[in-house]
Amino acid sequence: MANYALFDIETKIDWELAEKIEDADREEILGRLREQQGVGPLDDVWIPYTYHLPVVIACGLIESATGELTRLGCIKGEDSETICAEWWNWVDTFQSDPRRGTLVSFNGRSFDLPVLELAALRFGIPCGVHWNQKYGNRYRYQDDWHIDVLDLFTGHGATRGLRGGLSLLSGLVGMPVKSAAHSNLYDDVPLEVLQRWARNDVRRLYFVFQRLQYIRDRLKDLPIEPPELEEE
């Protein structure tokens, strides 16, 4: 089994839930958030993760023998419930094995995993291995179960964010930055486009992570050639 599994999710906003909780319609909610975040009417708005619903989960494995990114793809399923159930079942298997693997994400501790946890609550999906390890995926200061690349670069929150995120780090290591089209505010983005975004983000994460492992003295050779991306 591979030592590391890199993952990324794409989401859409559950506006029905947001409107109930905020007691406002979509435009009112967006207006409030723009005011709070100090952004203009054409700028991206950050929606609280509590209203995000996973629609795509991409995952790729790092082959322990070669260091290559293998088996990169998206969890199959016709709806969010099926995709999330498949994901959590896989995680329990991946991290129960005697050769337990480590999850790798970018901002997964603050976004991807909380979104997936709420999906498990919403749909009633068991994920006991994830929840029941005292120093497991949910423990902030470990990197045996889950490595959050953003957490490492910000000193677990000691510095105030990393402006540009994974796109910035991609540019630093010579990869194309993320397209400005990336957004979960648009309900009409085709599923296949979301899947391409997620797979490409796993590729970006892979190359950044390998470089990170090298500067941490966890990898012998410096990775030079980045993986090719799909057209976005």
Q: Flag whether 221 is in a domain.
A: no
The overall longest dimension of the chain from CA atoms, in Å, is 55
Range with the lowest mean pLDDT among 21-35, 110-124, 174-188?
174-188
178: containing domain: 4-14+51-215
- Number of neighbouring beta carbons within 10 Å of residue 171: 14
- Would you say residue 140 lies in a domain? yes
Predicted local distance difference test score (pLDDT) of residue 148: 97
Looking up residue 62, the CATH number of its domain turns out to be 3.30.420.10
Quickly count: other Cβ atoms within 10 Å of residue 51's Cβ.
21
Q: Residue 196 falls within a domain, yes or no?
A: yes
What domain count does the chain have? Answer: 1
What is the CA 177 to chain-centroid distance, rounded? 16
Residue at 38 is within a domain: no
In a domain, 40, yes or no: no
Question: Which amino acid type is present at position 123?
Answer: F
Termini Cα distance of the chain: 31
Residue 82: pLDDT band (50, 70, 90) is: very high
Instruction: Please report the pLDDT score of residue 184 as a whole number.
Output: 64
Residue type (1 letter), 115: V
The torsion angles phi and psi of 68, rounded to 5 degrees, stand at: -80, 155
Confidence category of residue 186, pLDDT binned at 50, 70, 90: low
